[in-house]
Amino acid sequence: MTTPHHHHDTLLYLDGVSVSFDGFRALNALSLVLERGEMRAVIGPNGAGKTTMMDVITGKTRPDTGRVVFGKDTDLTRLDEPAIADLGIGRKFQKPTVFEPHTVWDNLLLALAGDRRPRFTLWARQSSEESDRIEAILKTIRLGDHRGRRAGDLSHGQKQWLEIGMLLAQEPHLLLVDEPVAGMTDAETEQTAELLREINGTRSVVVVEHDMAFVRALGVKVTVLHEGSVLSEGSIDHVSNDPRVIEVYLGR
């Protein structure tokens, strides 16, 4: 286990995190350090624990042991989901999860950073800054022509983008993106890689993805998870030549 370097530029530090479900270890003393401003790709076979790792970071799952330190010294394992969201950690789910009965516009409106308390939302009127923000995001995620459509009627790929848009609207410091290009065409995949790189200009990102071409296109440091811990870490060329990684992927 590495000793924590509390550099001011460490944004997220997972320290020996373990999670068991009925005796099955989904995460096994997982440690991982993410620098501020970094984009990290996380790969690994099905069941490696990638989604569980995001569950732990966002407060959905409480680890049995270990710490998750965000920023200087906030231990995320003590906080619940809204509190963690409030700190500036946003999440896109593996299965796209948008608010289906609402329009694309309203989905973004609800995601916009702002006061979340009922006493505010009861009286809230949409401000011109809010409209401008939503317009800008619609442009980024290329859903401008679909603003009035019910989110539930969007295609799979469009829902993926809407969810990325909702992430942007939250203005988080850290984005956790679980399988963003599943179900996308090659062209859409390419655009998504571009979009994530653009987002990474101002924010830190963790992307989980199976699509190797996509990971290669991102061109960032890769962490390979296997059976709940880090198997290998480095550039995409480094990890794809690592014999242990080859064995895990080919041995299946």
Residues that bind other proteins (CB under 8 A): 58, 60, 80-82, 85-86, 90-91, 93, 97, 99-103, 106, 109-111, 116-118, 121-124, 126, 148-150, 153, 166, 170
51 binds Mg ion (CB under 5 A): yes
Least separation in angstroms between residue 27's CB and ligand ATP is: 8
The distance of closest approach from Cβ of residue 133 to Mg ion in the complex, given in angstroms and rounded to an integer, is 30
| Strands 89-92, 174-178: pairing kind | parallel
For residue 114, the tally of other CB atoms under 10 A from its CB is 18
Closest listed residue to residue 54, CA positions, set 178, 218, 168: 178
CB closer to ligand ATP out of 52 and 223: 52
Non-local CB neighbours of 248 within 8 Å, separated by 6+ positions:
44, 45, 224, 226, 231
Phi/psi for 125 (5° steps) reads -110, 145
Report which secondary-structure segment, H or E, holds 192.
helix 186-200
Taking CB under 5 A as the criterion, which residues in 11-50 touch Mg ion? Answer: 50
Tell me the per-residue interface mask from 73 to 102 with Mg ion, x by CB under 5 A, - otherwise. Answer: ---------------------x--------
Tokens standing for 185? 């065409």
| Between 28 and 94, CB nearer to Mg ion | 94
Q: Are 203 and 175 in contact (CB under 8 A)?
A: yes
Structure tokens at 107: 């989905």
Q: In DSSP terms, which residues pair with 13 in a beta bridge?
A: 33, 69
Which partner in Mg ion, ligand ATP, other proteins, none is near 103 (CB below 5 to 8 A by kind)? other proteins
Q: Of 53 and 162, which CB lies nearer to Mg ion in the complex structure?
A: 53
Q: Applying CB under 6 A, which residues contact ligand ATP? A: 21, 26, 44, 46-52, 94
Residues in the site for Mg ion, rule: CB under 5 A? 50-51, 94
